[in-house]
Structure formats: structure tokens, C-alpha cells
Structure 1
């Protein structure tokens, strides 16, 4: 795997697109509040952003793939908006099961922050889906979302496509988490399987790395900007890894190079 600082760089997104995926930040309204009694989620997210900015080439855009706020509090979304306005990158947000999509739409559409679900480059399009079920931890893609996915793919067969959603569409081998995945993955893949330009599917929710392939399409689960869960665990269990994120480089030929990164020596208390 190539380290971020070693990729040949161009400022022209027609050559390749560098995407930073952040997920599951679980931000709280109170700046001093702690999650699980030992983690300030604002501090952990700032640590991730600083880690990204320390790279020689921090990317072309950020996608935050859900569970932005722990309790869907307006103050949490406003803090994110304010913080992201100091970044030199566009930031796109999609909802997770802890979020309120309507509230996100009201607050997270200003300056360089957006909830726009379709992002297009010269050789790529990114589709951001809403897989949440109100007040439920599992995911579901309603008819409107599946129709949007189908239309977006049908209208641009010339563009390599990366699909983002919050919930995993495949089992990850962790029984308690697999019970909270996408409950209509069959419908989701029935749409995707019609379109050979789909190159990857990326999600959050699982607070850990996951990577496999299906019919040549990369399937990628990503670490959280706060805490990680132990892979393969039967029950809820926290890992010792620090805050993380995923970096993806999208090449014009449809190739995806990707790696997850963690903030080392991050103090949780």
C-alpha cells in the first residue's frame, strides 16, 4: 500500500480524486461532554482533521458518512459547520442512525459544507445515500433512495462510481453488529449489479476497518473518528486503536487505492 505522501500529485481532479472519508464522530452539544465517560468526541475529530492536514496532500474533498452527532443536537452540527469552514476542502455529509437528516439539511448546507447527495468529477461520480430508519439502529434503503441510485447510475454510464452509505450491506463477521446492517441489501445489489461502472461501496457504522470484494467491486468499512470496536466480536467491545479515517484515491481507469489511518498516542480521558 502506498503511503499518502508518496502518491504522485496533481491539482487536476480529472487525473485522480483524493477522498477523505470520516465517519461516526458522535459529536455532542456540550463542548466538555464525554462519550462512554472517557472521550471528548470533538477533540477526537479535531485530532483526525489535524492528522489529515499534516499530510503533504490532504485531499480534494471530505465525505462524512453518518452518525455525525450522538443525539442529533443542533449545537453539534453547528460546531461541525463552524470548524469545517476553516478547512480548505469541500465537506459532504450523509446521515447515520444517530442523526436527524432534516436538521442536517438546515444546518450543514453553508460555505464549503453540503448534504448534496451527488458529486461529479470528470471521470468519477460519488453517490451519497440515506440508509437510516428513524429511531432504529439497522439500515434500510427506501424506494426513493433506490430510485435515485438507479437514475444516477443510468444517466452516467461513462463515469466510474463510488457509493457511500452509513450501514454495511454485507456481514462483517461480528454478530452483534451484523444484526444492525442494511436489511434490504438484496435490493441494493440488484440495482448495482446492473451497472459495471460501480467500482466501490464505502460505509461507516461499524467503527472498524473492513475490506472485501464482490464481483470486482471493493466493499469498504471504515474506522470511526472516535472509538473503534473489536473486529469479530460477538458482543459490544471497544478496541484500543485511536481515532481513525479512510483515504481513497480514485484513478481515471476505475482503480481505487485506499488505506485506513489512526491517530497514534491519542489520550481518551
Structure 2
């Protein structure tokens, strides 16, 4: 299985065995950024693997998750850093799945007490991982995802390549399965909108991470299918008020 094929089979794993993950895999994911398909190349990031035993006190099982390994993402405090982190961590999660290793995004968890933070960066998000106790795969048809009809507003009949990008995006996981994205679809372009869910008048950090996860699927699909895409931003769309939606960006497909 390739990381792209894992898009159609990955599910969150909450129960793990204590067996060790190969050191070669741990080394690869700590250096994964060098192979990353980025959203915002100007945002620098670092990853760090922590083992369960590095948490000196007994850890609570967050949302029923207690794993032998945790991967932390740190990023510069810049616009787009959380989206970049979501993109990076989803691509790592799919790589791990392709190697038979289960993963689960965990909110509310931080690195071990006293763990150093890279200079000029902040901790963003954590991924629990390890060898699964149960079934690793889940067929795509059993994923609880919105239909194309609910996610998309079709302005034109899309190219096959455009449709393939949307299908990969549709299968993206999100916090609480919120799926906070909508697409306005033309023949060879997608305009991406985020459903507005604010906390105290501010954009939720998880919203930004979710959008990065979804963009990882689009970028990986473009690479897999050899689709030439350009990511752009329309000032006109950004300035046009749309109730309950925020314009994020556009993807242009070169026929």
C-alpha cells in the first residue's frame, strides 16, 4: 500500500500494542519535512517523537487513546502555521498507515514536561501512533463523510482531474468529523471555503489544522495522478462576504 492509497483505507486507531516501531520509521518521520509537499513553504516546522515512558507520571487516556509513541509538530508562529502542521501530520499519518502503523490525532495533549521547544517555534499538534491492536483498515465506503452533492457547488462540469482532487479531499479526516470545507467547482478550478466556527470571536485552531489535513489530500492526489496544479488566492473572493463561510484559496488544474 502507498501513502496515497492509505487515503481510502485509513481510520483513527485508539488501541495500540506495545510492540516497538522500527527505528528506521521513527527516523524517517522526524525528518519527513524534507519530503513534504508544502502549503506554505515559508513556515518552518520540526517534528519530535516522544515515547510513552518519557511521560514520567501515568498518562490519562485522552478520548480513549493511549499509545506507545507520540509525534509532536512545532512550527513558527506565522500565518498558516497550523494549516501547514495539519498538512504535514496527515501526510505522516498516511505514510505510517502504509507501513502497517495506526495513528490518531490527539487534542489536549502536550510534549513531556521539560521537553525543549525549538527556538522561534511553538507546539501545535500531536499524533499518537503504534502498532494497532485491532483492524488497521477501513473501506472508503464505510467512512462517515459528506456526499459530493453536499460538499460542492458545481458551476461547470469538472474535468476528470478536478473531480479526482475533490474525491481525495472529501475523504479527509477532521476533528469530531466536522468536515468544515465546501468547494465551488468549475471545469479546471476549485474555490475552497471554510465553514465558519469561531471560539470567542476567533478562528478555532482546530479549524486551521483541519483545512491543512484536507489540503494534504489534494496535494497528494495531484502528485499521484500527475495533475499539474497551482494554488492561488483571489482577493476578490476574499473580500466578498459570504455568510458563515471564509474563503481559503483556490486550486487551478492545468488541462
TM-score by length of structure 2 reads 0.29
Q: Which has the larger radius of gyration?
A: 2
Bigger proportion of residues as helix: 2
